[in-house]
A and B are shown apart, each in its own frame.
Chain A
Amino acid sequence: MGDFIRRYHLGPLIGFLLLFIILSVVSPQFMTFGNLRNVALQTSVNMLLAVGMTFVILTSGIDLSVGSTLAMTSSVAAGLMVTHVPIWIAVVVALAIGLLAGLFNGIFVAYAGLAPFIVTLGTMTLFRGITEIYTHGTPIFNLPDSFAWLGTAQLAGIPVPVILTVIVLIVAWVILAKSVPGRRIYAVGGNEQVAYLAGVRVKKYLLLVYMVSGFLAAVAGLVLTSRLGSAEPTAGTGYELDAITAVVLGGTSLFGGEGTLVGTIIGAAILGVIDNGLNILNVNSFWQDAVRGAIILVAILLDRKKTTTI
């Protein structure tokens, strides 16, 4: 039974459904298309970051720099757009910077052999600093109207960021769950030494996962910038922790090699529903963090894998 629950992510899923049912009962507002669409829209940025974080955590790494990468790419894109650089070029540059940021992290982790926590703790501050230098610490406004499409438009009643996120989720799921590179990512996280001896190019995959994370941070940055209509140098502060929370809530092991993208999706959805629920229930904002933290702890406790014998 335990195995069954774990294999099909029933722990997080049950928690999610429980939250869903409770909120539907206590608030008639919750179970409406409009509200659920809103939840999906608000979750999309964290969902994108959490997907990248899943890749990294599966290799037993961590990427603390995604929030700063988000701000950096957002600022550069916005900065280019207000100087009348074509939107598509600004977008491509932002995505390229995201990839470079990931490459930078990856080189330190894979080739210098430094601990991912330390490396990305450093780049978290470094990228934030670059953002502040670039923006002189002030937000960038007056973005072209057509750029707003990405964050605010809807196709068939569904927000574009949600559609984009779903596409990213499908691609990432195929890679992690179905592809050969995906299996190798799990192998690297499960035991780097064994993977190397079995002919897996460990360094290449380590580079790759940080680049995925950096790239998706850039995507998230563009979505956020478009939605808000401005780039804030302080954007994304603390987002890395939300992404990590989603991954861990989804049952992925911080030691690597174990976990699934589906788990992460559920984890991010739980966070989204909690935030939404606390808002529609008008929970005092001073209380929100405490309640949120408590729910997270309970969820993780329910899903705990190993009962220690001590």
Chain B
Amino acid sequence: MSVLEMKGISKSFGTVKVLQGVDLRLESGEVLALLGENGAGKSTLMKILTGVYAADDGQIFIDGEPVHIHRIQDSRALGIEIIHQELSLFQNLSIAENFLIGHEEKYRNTFGLVDYKKLHREVADALRRVGLQRPTSTLVGSLGVGEQQLVEISRALQSNVRFLIMDEPTAALTEVETERLFELIRQLRSNGVGIIYISHRMEELYQIADKVEILRDGQFIGTRVMAEAQERELISMMVGRDVDNRYPRVPTTPGETLLEVKGLTTQYVRDINLTVRAGEVVGLGGLMGAGRTEVARALMGIDKVTRGEIVFKGKPRRFTSPREAIREGMVFLTEDRKSEGLILPFSVRENLALSTLDQRKRAGLVNRRLEKVFASDMVKRLRIKVANPEQSVGSLSGGNQQKVVLGKWLAHNPDLLILDEPTRGVDVGAKQEIYQLINEMTASGKAILMISSDLPELLGMCDRVYVMFQGTTQGEVRGSAMNQEDFMTLATGGEL
């Protein structure tokens, strides 16, 4: 039984105070959820705990004894391990080799070479403990995200871990994988490991956390016993004001049919049937890997359509590149903003302007004055928190980055906006603003096709939802009958 305490932790970067006198208390055998918007200071606090950053002020205690953590190795020696949101595995190495890196001493034989026999034996044991049935020589890059996460956890457990930090561990997991992860967390908890669990998904916290600590703007707001905490209270603690309705969808009367898809088939999906009418928010749901993103890619002309019909704005269309689709008024906000949404070396202004350069050109040149006006208007309209549109986009928080990508597409004033995981990794406040933008768009007769793994969001924001199963549209849930049970029936291949 041990206790980890952080007391009065403060940290500034330049003049920005990221943490101001934050406390944290974690006992072994409990799961503490750390809740807060992007930029609230959760990651910084965890980086201080693991020795990545040094605190300006404050102290860390284990069992009442002050400890000094200056490097990652220090925290490791104290039994503190972290599983990052972005996994830190070498994709080009095998599972066993990933275990080897950093622990070479442990597997050195008498000749100073690697004792592979011992390595594979111990790694196999470790994998068994987390329930991953894969040969230890499997290339990590060939594993799914969920499996990779298990590898990472099993690696962390190799050392004598007393406190485990998990940063958004379920962000990329399927339902089944999430369930397996929770099982593992419960097992660790009963073995006396203290776990700090960071997630934006409130439903999950109720399932897994014992206590919850809320941070806002770098300050400690409070802790609650999870089972007794009201969701509404937690959200208002996080946001600093009351949020009346988590999914403030304002339905409109649907107009004429904007998009009609019949029997759409590509290499990845088959026989997709769906319609979207002006003013509608139509959901595209299903389990991870059901082919949701692939439908969007087929519509946009990224993946080749082998069969089927797409009628967009009354004309049969088969776009052969996103460029054509965009020109006709169909745009696509991709799920991975770092690799598919943003140009990281570019400024906020340049990212916002990227898809509408032609609208502001004069004699082939960029009209920089117009572009600056455009960018600052967009920053205002979307309430992007940025000191200056000239700031590099990489320095923004996740929610603000997402708004930049959204702004890039809204600039087009598209007829159909395809949103793929529009609020992934986005905090509650920014989520609300994105939902409001969705309402604004549909109120002006535009339509949204929304893909989301966040089921409450999908059912809460969409007027209708098509559910996909194994690469095809299995069915549709709509109206007041939309519920999670029906959704899951369809998503797992059942019929209504």
Do A and B come from the same complex?
yes
Q: Residues on A close to B: CB < 8 A? A: 174, 178-184, 186-187, 190-191, 193-201, 253, 257-258
Judge whether B366 and A179 touch: CB under 8 Å: yes
Judge whether B354 and A187 touch: CB under 8 Å: yes
Judge whether B358 and A194 touch: CB under 8 Å: no
B332 at interface, CB cutoff 8 A: yes
Partner of B334, one of A178, A197, A199, A200: A197
Judge whether B342 and A257 touch: CB under 8 Å: no
Least CB distance, B463 to chain A, in whole angstroms: 26
Judge whether B345 and A183 touch: CB under 8 Å: no
Contact with A along B319-352 (1 / 0, CB 8 A): 0011100110000101000011111111000100
Chain A residues in 8 Å Cβ range of B365: 174, 178-180
Chain B residues in 8 Å Cβ range of A196: 321-322
A-B contact sample (17 more), CB < 8 A, given A179-B365, A187-B354, A190-B343: A179-B364, A179-B366, A186-B346, A190-B345, A191-B339, A193-B339, A194-B339, A194-B341, A194-B342, A195-B354, A196-B321, A197-B334, A197-B340, A198-B354, A200-B354, A257-B343, A258-B345
Nearest A residue to B343 via CB reads: A190
In the complex, A187 Cα to B344 Cα: how many Å? 10
Judge whether B350 and A257 touch: CB under 8 Å: no
Least CB distance, A240 to chain B, in whole angstroms: 25
Nearest B residue to A190 via CB reads: B343
Can you report 21 residue pairs joining A to B where beta carbons are below 8 Å apart? Answer: A178-B365, A178-B366, A179-B364, A180-B364, A181-B364, A183-B366, A184-B357, A186-B343, A190-B346, A191-B344, A194-B341, A197-B300, A197-B302, A197-B332, A197-B334, A198-B355, A198-B408, A199-B321, A199-B327, A200-B354, A257-B343
Least CB distance, A93 to chain B, in whole angstroms: 29
Judge whether B322 and A187 touch: CB under 8 Å: no
In the complex, A127 Cα to B25 Cα: how many Å? 69
Judge whether A201 and B366 touch: CB under 8 Å: no
User: How many positions in chain B have a CB within 8 Å of any CB in the partner chain?
Assistant: 29
Judge whether B357 and A180 touch: CB under 8 Å: yes
In the complex, A258 Cα to B302 Cα: how many Å? 27
In the complex, A184 Cα to B341 Cα: how many Å? 15
Chain B residues in 8 Å Cβ range of A193: 339-340
In the complex, A187 Cα to B334 Cα: how many Å? 17
Judge whether A180 and B340 touch: CB under 8 Å: no
Q: Residues on B close to A: CB < 8 A? A: 300, 302, 321-323, 326-327, 332, 334, 339-346, 350, 353-355, 357-358, 361, 364-366, 368, 408
Least CB distance, B131 to chain A, in whole angstroms: 34
In the complex, A199 Cα to B324 Cα: how many Å? 8
Judge whether B322 and A180 touch: CB under 8 Å: no
Judge whether A191 and B364 touch: CB under 8 Å: no
Judge whether B327 and A194 touch: CB under 8 Å: no
Least CB distance, B139 to chain A, in whole angstroms: 22
Judge whether B364 and A190 touch: CB under 8 Å: no
Judge whether A201 and B343 touch: CB under 8 Å: no
Chain B residues in 8 Å Cβ range of A197: 300, 302, 322, 332, 334, 340-341
Chain B residues in 8 Å Cβ range of A181: 364
In the complex, A34 Cα to B346 Cα: how many Å? 42
Least CB distance, A163 to chain B, in whole angstroms: 24
Least CB distance, B354 to chain A, in whole angstroms: 5
In the complex, A200 Cα to B321 Cα: how many Å? 10
Chain A residues in 8 Å Cβ range of B339: 191, 193-194
In the A-B complex, the 7 residue pairs with the smallest Cβ-Cβ separation, listed nearest first, are A190-B343, A199-B323, A198-B355, A257-B345, A199-B326, A258-B345, A191-B343
Partner of A198, one of B322, B345, B361: B322
Chain B residues in 8 Å Cβ range of A253: 345
Chain B residues in 8 Å Cβ range of A174: 365
Chain A residues in 8 Å Cβ range of B368: 178
Least CB distance, B40 to chain A, in whole angstroms: 23
Nearest A residue to B332 via CB reads: A197
In the complex, A180 Cα to B350 Cα: how many Å? 11
In the complex, A1 Cα to B36 Cα: how many Å? 32
Chain A residues in 8 Å Cβ range of B326: 198-199
In the complex, A187 Cα to B339 Cα: how many Å? 13
Chain A residues in 8 Å Cβ range of B323: 199-201
In the complex, A141 Cα to B322 Cα: how many Å? 54
Chain B residues in 8 Å Cβ range of A186: 343, 345-346, 350
Of residues B332, B344, B346, which shows the largest number of chain A Cβ atoms within 10 Å of its Cβ? Answer: B346
Chain A residues in 8 Å Cβ range of B358: 180
Partner of A199, one of B322, B346, B361, B366: B322
In the complex, A198 Cα to B358 Cα: how many Å? 12
In the complex, A177 Cα to B358 Cα: how many Å? 16
In the complex, A180 Cα to B343 Cα: how many Å? 16
Least CB distance, A243 to chain B, in whole angstroms: 22
Nearest B residue to A193 via CB reads: B340
In the complex, A187 Cα to B356 Cα: how many Å? 13
In the complex, A182 Cα to B357 Cα: how many Å? 11
Chain A residues in 8 Å Cβ range of B354: 183, 187, 194-195, 198, 200
In the complex, A198 Cα to B414 Cα: how many Å? 13
Chain A residues in 8 Å Cβ range of B321: 196, 199, 201
Judge whether B343 and A183 touch: CB under 8 Å: no
Least CB distance, A205 to chain B, in whole angstroms: 12
Least CB distance, B54 to chain A, in whole angstroms: 12
Least CB distance, B333 to chain A, in whole angstroms: 9
Least CB distance, A248 to chain B, in whole angstroms: 16
Chain A residues in 8 Å Cβ range of B342: 191, 194
Nearest B residue to A177 via CB reads: B366
Least CB distance, B409 to chain A, in whole angstroms: 9
In the complex, A303 Cα to B322 Cα: how many Å? 38
In the complex, A121 Cα to B393 Cα: how many Å? 35
Judge whether B343 and A187 touch: CB under 8 Å: yes
Nearest A residue to B327 via CB reads: A199
Judge whether B364 and A194 touch: CB under 8 Å: no
Partner of B366, one of A180, A191, A194, A258: A180
In the complex, A258 Cα to B347 Cα: how many Å? 11
Judge whether A194 and B350 touch: CB under 8 Å: no
Chain B residues in 8 Å Cβ range of A178: 365-366, 368
Of residues A180, A182, A184, which shows the largest number of chain B Cβ atoms within 10 Å of its Cβ? Answer: A180
Partner of A187, one of B302, B340, B346, B361: B346
Nearest B residue to A198 via CB reads: B355
